[in-house]
Amino acid sequence: MLALFNAMRAANPGMHYEYIPKPDEWRNGRQIFFRACWCFSQSVEAFRHCRPVFSIDGTFLLVKYMGTLLIAIACDANNSLVPLAFAFVERENKDSWGWFLRLVRRHVVGPSREVCVISEHEAMFNSKHEAAVKLQNKGDLLPSKPNEHLNDAKGFAHTHEVRLFDISTGKYEVTKRGGTTSDGEVRPPRKYVVLLSNFSCTCGRPRQYHFPCSHYIAAARNRNFFLHEEHTPRVHCR
Ligand SMILES: [Zn+2]
């Protein structure tokens, strides 16, 4: 699939794609596919001249490939359809829609433009909006569950060993210590490569969940690097 995206990009300069394998899942030496999202620069340019409205929808795929195709579509001044972005995801749920819409915001809409999203998933956005308003009123940055995950990851980060590879890009090798689990399974130590500047780790979690893994936190601590709000998931406001 990566070869396909690279070929598409070679023929469509400016195309953007994100390809995400399943964290830590391999078969026959290859990491298993999880999600992918792509958009063409022509669509991004065209949407700048469209009304600030787009629709989103998903359709499940059948037979060989399964999964779900998500799409964001706008309308131009002639009422012709302008496809904005596409994604392959495992299924339609809050997490996959949230992931897709974050990428549409980042790569198609841009940070400051106010847009209206038309969706049959109205209930989902309404409940997210209500939750976001409640959190803001309380002055909290994160809902309780991500907060717990972050605290767990911070705790694990203290047990990792960190080695700096390249200071200019913030490239680190982080070793998770081996040990024996409570049911007697012996786990060898594992090494991960963290790139602070790219918010990535070879475990795959930061790119998939838009949330720092314990390896990333360990490397960030080594650098006295403050974990910016941008790198933690936020509840969507319309
Ligand atoms: Zn990691």
- pLDDT range class, residue 225, cuts 50, 70, 90: low
Ligand 1 center–CA 204 separation, angstroms = 6
pLDDT in tens, 11-42: 999 999 999 988 878 888 888 889 999 999 99
Q: How far is the CA of 214 from the centre of ligand 1 (A)?
A: 6
Q: What percent of the chain has pLDDT over 70?
A: 87
Reported as a single tens digit per residue, the pLDDT across 98-116 is 999 999 999 999 888 889 8
Residue 65 CA to ligand 1 center (angstroms) comes to: 28
Rounded distance from Cα 223 to ligand 1 centre (Å): 16
What is the pTM assigned to this prediction?
0.54
Cα(128) to centroid(ligand 1), Å:
27
Distance (Å, whole) CA 194 – CA 172: 5
- The whole-number pLDDT of residue 61 equals 77
- Of 34, 47, 51, 59, the closest CA to residue 120 belongs to 59
Q: Ligand 1: distance of its center to the CA of 192 in Å?
A: 6
pLDDT given at position 238 = 35
Q: Which protein residues have a CB closer than 5 Å to ligand 1 (ion)?
A: 192, 201, 203, 213, 215
Ligand 1 center to residue 191 CA distance, Å? Answer: 9
Q: Which has the higher per-residue pLDDT, 16 or 121?
A: 16
- How close is the Cα of 103 to the center of ligand 1, in Å? 21
Cα separation, 24 vs 204, in Å, equals 7
Per-residue pLDDT reduced to its tens digit, 162-195: 999 888 888 999 999 988 877 777 888 999 999 9
